[in-house]
Every structure is written in C-alpha cells, then in structure tokens.
Structure 1
Amino acid sequence: MHIAMLAPIAWRTPPRHYGPWENVASLLTEGLVSRGHDVTLFATADSQTRGRLHAVCPRGYEEDHALIPKVWECLHISELFEDTEAYDIIHNHFDFLPLTYTGLTTTPVLSTIHGFSSPGILPVYKKYNGNVFYVSISDADRSAALDYIKTIHHGVDIRQFDFQPAPDDDLLFFGRIHPDKGTREALEIARARGKRLILAGIIQDQDYFDRYIAPHIDNDKVAYVGSVGPRSRSRLLGKAFALLHPIRFDEPFGLSVIESMACGTPVIAFNRGSMPELIENGKNGFLVDNVEAAIEALAGIKEVDRTACRSHVEQHFTVERMVDDYISTYEVILRERSA
C-alpha cells in the first residue's frame, strides 16, 4: 500500500518539542513503514522519517517567522494534490484546507480531524462529507453534522516514556499556557495543597501568561521550564506526583494525559471532552468538575497504583494499536472504492 501522509507544517515532523498533530503524523508514518508499507511523508524539509520525505517548505513557520504561513500551506498542499495518482490513499492531518482540493482527485482521502478550532470551520467539513472519509480522535469530539468511518484514539510510543515507580512530590502542568488549558487553575490547586508546581509548555497567550502566571513564578513554589523535548518530557512526567489537567474547553484528545500515565503518573483532569475516554476515575487518576474537587482529589493520589497507569496505556493507547486501527480503516476504504 502506498500512502501519502500529509502533515502540518507549523513545526517539524516529528516536532522538536511542541507539535501534537505533527507528532501523531510521525508516529503513524514510522509505524506504517515498520509494517512494510510505502509511505511518502509530506512535511517540512527538516523533517525526519524512514519513509520518503517530500517537502517544499524549508522548516516550520512557527520556527521561522519569516515564512508566511498561507503561502507555504498552499505550496505544501498543492504539491501533493497535483500528483495523487501515485498513491493508493491520501491521509490528511492538515485540518480543513486540503479538503478543498479533494474534488481534483479520484484517490480516496482520509482526514483525521484533530479537533475543531471553531464551529466556523464546519461548513468546509460539511461540504466534503461523503466524499472524504473522516476519523475522529475521540467519541466526544464528533460533530452531529458529519459522518465518520471510525474513532481512532491516538497512541504513543511506549518506549519513549520511562516508568517511574517513585515520584517526587511536585505537581506538573504540561501543555499550552492558555486559558483553555487551565494554567491559572493549576496554580490554584497546587497553592491550596502547598505543593511545588512545574509548568511546561509553549506560551500561546502572552497576555494571559504575563497577567496570571508570570507573577507567581519564583523558581521555588512555581517554576516554568518552557517547552521541552522528548528526553526532558519523559523525566518531567515520570517524576511528577500528579499531572494537573484542569481544562476549560472540551479537549479533543489530550496526548499529555496518555504520556503522563505511560510514565506511571496519575492525572487529575476536569471532566470535559475526551477525558472520560482516557481516564478511569480512581484507577489511573481522577475526573473532577472544578478546582475545589481537584484539591480534594489530590489527597487520594497516593492510593493510585502507578503500575496500573502504565498498564492502561499498554492495553489501550500504544502506537501499535493506533497503526492497526488505521491499516484496517485504509483497507475498508479501498474495498469500498473498488466495489
């Protein structure tokens, strides 16, 4: 099977630190290649893959602000869709824009919807509903206006996450510094329990950071370590007493939740979006409704078996399971198109 994998170009694939969509595209590409499939990865020129790399954009536009995003997005997407006959299937990880090219090809297109940034993008998905095969990354992130071929939860490469049976006493916030992710709420939770909080992630809302987060950073009770790469990620997640995930939006998936549990670290998350699909309440973390409940749940973290957290990921959220699910979905699509 020859697959064209269309990754975003905001960051390198795989990303050096932040870039969840690029991360998933990379994990899937490498997993497919390891199974003997012929994969051409459309990504930035500095990307790394054991498949074939096809690139026109030199590097991620979030890493080089001299690059105009829309210019390079158009060049990147058209590079694939002007030569689709070589592929059995096109797998889009690039959100809605590539859908507008799909009328130009007879090659089937599968689009993984990594979340809806706004209800305002739905008209594009609705226009191509029935022509493009949609995969949701959680049942919670489905739109009633669309048809889906399958829900496929993300998987992680378990080898990248070292299990830590004996954590430190620190709490960890790992994600975008943004109101949606609840950074401010994480500070409240840690302060109420008198625990040190480590913040890791890109600053996506500078005003929010300056007003609500920066005044509390003292490198004693609150430390900000920036956006970290794979080596630091495993250590930070593994040594945390718990991961705080007090989201204020309906999270489509939440890779950091799975990555944390892969290291043995339980998660306290606000019960929104996909969280009930990832966390078994009381077994590998706690689902709570507000800051007060999160503060209370911290008292029960010591009772959570860290090996159970790791086992949950090994059973349900490995990259091998994700690759299996996508291969079976490709096969269904190809059978349907050839019928």
Structure 2
Amino acid sequence: MRIAVLASIAHRTPPRAYGPWEQVASTLTEGLVARGHDVTLFATADSLTSATLRAVAPTGYEEDPAVDAKVYEALHIASLYEDAERFDVISNQFDFLPLVFSRLVRTPVVTTIHGFSSERILPVYRAYDDVCHYVAISDADRRPDLTYAATIHHGLDLERFAPGSGHPGHLVFLGRIHPQKGPREAIDVALRAGVPLVIAGTVQDEAYFREVVEPLVDGVRVSYVGPVGPAERERLLGGARALLHLIDFDEPFGLAVVEALAVGTPVIAHRRGSMPEIVRHGVTGFLVAGPEEALAAVHAVGGLDRGACRADVVDRFSAARMVGQYEELFARVARRPA
C-alpha cells in the first residue's frame, strides 16, 4: 500500500526531546515500512526515517525562530495534497488544518486526533466529519458529536526502553511545564513525602515556571533538568520510584505515562481523561483524587511489581499492536486494495 504520513513540523521527526505527535508519526512510519508498505513521510528536512522523506521546512519551528510556523505549515500541507493522487491513503498526524483540503482529493484521509487544543477548533472537525476518518487516541477523548473509525492507543518501540531498577528512587515529573500538567502539585506531594523530585520537560508557560515552579527548585529536594532526549528520559524514568502525573485537565493519552511503565516505573495519576485506560489501579500505579491520596500512593508504590508495569505495556502498548491497527484501518478505507 502507498501511504503518506503527514507529521507535525513543530519538531523533528522523531523528536530530539519533546514532541509526542512527532514521536507517534515516527513510530507509525517505521512500523509500516518494516511491514513492506511504500511510505512517504512529510516532515522537517532534518527528520530521520527509513521511508521516503518529503520536506519543505528545514527544521521545526519550535526549534528555529527563523522558521515561520504559519508559512511553513501551509507549504508543508500543500506539498502533500498537491501529490495526493500518488497515495492510497493519507495518515494525518498533523492536526485539524489538513481537513479543509480533504474534499479536494480522492485519496482518503485518516486523521489521528491527538487531543483538542481548544473548543474553537471543533467546527472544523464537525465540517469534515462525513468525509474524513477520525481516530481517537483514547476512548475518553471521543466527542459524542463526531464519528470515529477507531480508537487506537499509542504504542512504543519497546527496544528503546530497558527495564529500570527504581534506584536511586526519586520521583519524576515528565511533561510540559504548564499548570494543566500539575508540576506544582507534584512538587507539593514530593516535599511532603520527603522524596526528591526531578522535573523534566519543556517550559510552555514561562510566567508559571518563573513564579510558581522555579522558586521551589533547589537542586536537592526539587531539581529541574530541562527537556530530555530518549537516553536521559530512559535513565530518569528507570531510576524513579514513581512518575507523578497529577494533571488538571482530561489528558487525551499521556505518552510519558506509558514510557514510565515501559521501564517498570509505576505511575501516580489523577483519575482524569485517559488515565483509567492506561494505569491499572493497584497494579501498575494508583489513580488518585487529590494530594492526600497522592501522598499515600507515594508511600504505597514500593509494594507494586515493576515487572507487571513493563508486562502491561508489552501486552497493550507496543508499536507492533499500534501499527497493526492502523494497517487494518488503512486497508479498510483505501480506495485501492493493499
């Protein structure tokens, strides 16, 4: 099958550090190539792939201020749609903007909805509900007024994640530094528990970081190490007692949660959004409703089996499972048989 994968151009595919959308696009692309499909990845020019790479943007606009996001996103999307007839199916891993061109081509468009950044973008999804094939990344993120072709949880290339020992036993926060992600809540719980906390991730809200998070960073009880690449992420997660994911919004998926489980690190998460679909309460972590329950979970998490965390990811969140589900969906909607 001839498949076009349209990645985000905020970051390189795969990302050097932060970039969950680009990571999913990369994992899907490499898996489809390995299964014998003719795949073209539309991504930044510095992307790394075994597929055919088509690029307009030299690098990600989040990584180079000289790359104008609006200009290069327009050129990026156009470069695919102007050549859409070459493909049996388009996998839109980008966002809502490519939907507006979907009636102009005969090639079916399968759009993975990586979450709704705002209620204001919903009119676009509603307008193209009858022609596009939507994929939810969790059942929790489905909207009742949209039609979905499937729910496909993200998957990981498990060869990139070696099981960790849980030593030295710090707690870890991994994600965007933003109020929704709960870094301040993680700090409060860690300080009360008397367990060092390592914060890793991209600062998305500068004022929040400067005023709320940074004053509590002392390099001993609370450390901030910035965005981390794959090797450092694996080390941080593998050496942690638990990942604190005390979110203040309905998380569409939470790739960092699955990455923690992949190295055997349990997760303590607020019971919101997709978390009940990912974390098995009392087995791979704890789903909590507030700071007191989170504090109790920190003290109880040492009794969980780290091997069970890893085994659950192998069973439910592998790249092979994800790629296989997309492959089946693409074959079903393609205008030409595989």
TM-score band by shorter chain is over 0.9
How far did residue 162 of structure 1 move?
1.0
Could you say which residue in structure 2 is the equivalent of 1:80? 80
Residues of 2 paired with 1:168 and 1:248: CA distance? Answer: 28
How far did residue 67 of structure 1 move?
1.4
Residues of 1 paired with 2:62 and 2:220: CA distance? Answer: 31
Residues of 1 paired with 2:240 and 2:139: CA distance? Answer: 29
Aligned 1:305-324 pairs, distance under 5 A: 305-324=305-324
Q: Which runs of 4+ in 1 moved over 2 A?
A: none
Could you say which residue in structure 2 is the equivalent of 1:125? 125
Would you say the 8 A contact 1:165–1:307 is kept in 2? Answer: no
1:260 partner SS: helix
Name the aligned partner's letter for residue 27 of structure 1: T
2:148 partner SS: coil
Would you say the 8 A contact 2:166–2:265 is kept in 1? Answer: no
1:85 partner SS: helix
Residues of 2 paired with 1:169 and 1:57: CA distance? Answer: 41
Residues of 1 paired with 2:86 and 2:16: CA distance? Answer: 30
Residues of 2 paired with 1:334 and 1:225: CA distance? Answer: 45
Could you say which residue in structure 2 is the equivalent of 1:282? 282
User: What's the RMSD between the two structures over aligned residues?
Assistant: 0.9
Could you say which residue in structure 1 is the equivalent of 2:17? 17
Residues of 2 paired with 1:168 and 1:245: CA distance? Answer: 19
Residues of 2 paired with 1:298 and 1:64: CA distance? Answer: 39
Which digits, 9 at most, give the CA deviation of each residue in 1:292-311, with x for residues without a partner? Answer: 11001112101100000000
2:268 partner SS: strand
Residues of 2 paired with 1:64 and 1:297: CA distance? Answer: 41
Question: After the TM superposition, which of the residue ranges 180-189 and 293-302 deviates more from structure 2?
Answer: 293-302
How far did residue 100 of structure 1 move?
0.6
Name the aligned partner's letter for residue 287 of structure 1: L
Task: Could you tell me which runs of 5 or more consecutive residues in structure 1 were left unpaired when the two chains were aligned.
Answer: none
Name the aligned partner's letter for residue 193 of structure 2: R
Residues of 2 paired with 1:174 and 1:85: CA distance? Answer: 41
2:295 partner SS: helix
TM-score by length of 2: 0.98
Name the aligned partner's letter for residue 224 of structure 1: Y
2:186 partner SS: helix
Could you say which residue in structure 2 is the equivalent of 1:301? 301
Name the aligned partner's letter for residue 150 of structure 1: A
Residues of 1 paired with 2:170 and 2:134: CA distance? Answer: 40
Residues 1:256 and 2:262 are matched in the alignment: no
Residues 1:236 and 2:236 are matched in the alignment: yes
Name the aligned partner's letter for residue 333 of structure 2: I
Name the aligned partner's letter for residue 159 of structure 2: R
Residues of 1 paired with 2:168 and 2:259: CA distance? Answer: 17
How far did residue 166 of structure 1 move?
4.2
Could you say which residue in structure 1 is the equivalent of 2:96? 96
1:149 partner SS: strand
Residues of 2 paired with 1:147 and 1:164: CA distance? Answer: 40
Residues of 2 paired with 1:115 and 1:326: CA distance? Answer: 18
Which digits, 9 at most, give the CA deviation of each residue in 1:156-183, with x for residues without a partner? Answer: 1111111013422210000000000000
Could you say which residue in structure 2 is the equivalent of 1:144? 144
Could you say which residue in structure 1 is the equivalent of 2:172? 172
Name the aligned partner's letter for residue 249 of structure 1: F
Residues 1:162 and 2:162 are matched in the alignment: yes
Sequence identity, in percent? 55
Name the aligned partner's letter for residue 316 of structure 1: R
Name the aligned partner's letter for residue 2 of structure 2: H
Residues of 2 paired with 1:274 and 1:60: CA distance? Answer: 28
Residues of 1 paired with 2:274 and 2:178: CA distance? Answer: 19
Task: Could you tell me which runs of 5 or more consecutive residues in structure 2 were left unpaired when the two chains were aligned.
Answer: none
TM-score by length of 1: 0.98
Would you say the 8 A contact 1:186–1:245 is kept in 2? Answer: yes
Residues of 2 paired with 1:21 and 1:333: CA distance? Answer: 23
Q: How many residue pairs align between the two structures?
A: 337
Would you say the 8 A contact 1:268–1:287 is kept in 2? Answer: yes
Name the aligned partner's letter for residue 31 of structure 2: G
